[in-house]
Amino acid sequence: MAAEQSNYVAPCPYELCDGGGMIVDWDANESYRCRCWPEQVQRRRSRRLSREIPKRFRNIGFEREPLPSIARTAPDVVRAVRRFCDRIDEMLDRGEGMWFLGSPGTGKSHLAYLISQAALAANRSVAIYTGPRLLDEIRRTYDDDTPGATLDLIDRLTNVELLHVEDLAVARPTDWVLEQLYNIVNGRYENEKSIVFTCDLTGDAEEGSGAIDPRWLARHITDRNFSRLVEMCGDPQMLFGADNRQAVYKPHAWES
């Protein structure tokens, strides 16, 4: 299956070529680039990015658990995600995004992966990373002898049609981290590319309020990153409630 997916050629969205990005005029004995050429080039470049949905989140659906349970506690959020998925091409063409904020174990990742799944099903280019792994990938390019390796990776992360980042606020916000995050966020902002991300920040740690405050993220990733993400993704989709992972936890024999 993996080999089949890697050799898959997306059809031409304009129905002008065979999906390869070139049109052959046999009568004139010449060939030229199709309208879809830039999109095909971008898809080929994006294959070098991480695009695999983790096993736990594969083949999820709105009618399969845990989505019905999430819908009972956050019906408006699930409806918003369903609308996004139903209009996936329109949303990605417009560079619209979505972000999920709340306490751990409330379904943020399931909802975000529904969007990535819809984008992949629509043959759109997708990159999927956790926050720490994304930064590790950038660090690794520093050891690459290929000239411009770091810039090439940032360029691909900037131009992929959908960037999905899990746990955006996990990474320690050093100056280097914030600089790389800005390069990616600002690049996507300027090119009107969609981003979907999740975040576990659940309140002001200093005040100990326990309330979900979206502005807390600005203090973690800087105002300039936060401002761009809010314009791209709108208000956060808020998820409250108990940690469902702990609810299904069964103690081991030696713990009882």
Q: What is the pLDDT of residue 45?
A: 55
Sheet harboring 98-102: ordered strands across? 126-130, 162-166, 194-199, 98-102, 237-239
- Other CB atoms within a 10 A radius of the CB of residue 182 amount to 16
Taking the CA atoms of 217, 218, 220 and 221 in sequence, report the sign of the dihedral they define.
positive
When pLDDT is averaged across residues 170-192 and rounded to a whole number, the result is 90
Strands (E), the chain: 22-25, 30-33, 98-102, 126-130, 162-166, 194-199, 237-239
Half-sphere exposure in the Cβ direction for 17 (13 Å, CA)? 19
pLDDT of residue 3: 35
SS3 at position 20? coil
Rounded to whole angstroms, the Cα distance separating 84 from 94 reads 12
- The domains located in the chain, with CATH, are 2-40 (no CATH), 48-247 (3.40.50.300)
Band of the pLDDT at 205, cuts 50, 70, 90?
A: very low
Comparing 24-33, 55-64, 115-124, 174-183, which segment has the lowest mean pLDDT?
Answer: 24-33
Angle subtended by helix axes 149-159 and 37-46, to nearest 10: 120
- Among 100, 80, 95, residue whose Cα is nearest residue 197: 100
pLDDT tens digits for range 53-97: 999 999 899 999 999 999 999 999 999 999 999 999 999 999 999
Q: What are phi and psi of 18, to 5 degrees?
A: -90, 10
Q: Which residues contact 245 (CB under 8 A, 6 or more apart)?
A: 104, 105
Q: Is residue 244's pLDDT more than 50?
A: yes
Measured CA to CA, the distance from residue 136 to residue 143 in angstroms comes to 11
* pLDDT mean over 236-244: 84
Nearest to 99 by CA among 231, 243, 241: 231
The CA-atom distances, in angstroms, between 28 and each of 33, 54, 66, 253 are 15, 48, 57, 77
- Predicted pLDDT at 251: 55
Token digits for 152?
A: 């090439």
Task: Give me the mean pLDDT over the 112-135 stretch.
Answer: 94
The confidence score (pLDDT) of residue 206 equals 41
**Bigger pLDDT: 161 vs 44:** 161
Residue 50 backbone phi and psi in degrees, to 5:
-70, 120
Quote the CA–CA distance of 254 and 256 in Å, as a whole number: 6
pLDDT at 254 over 90: no
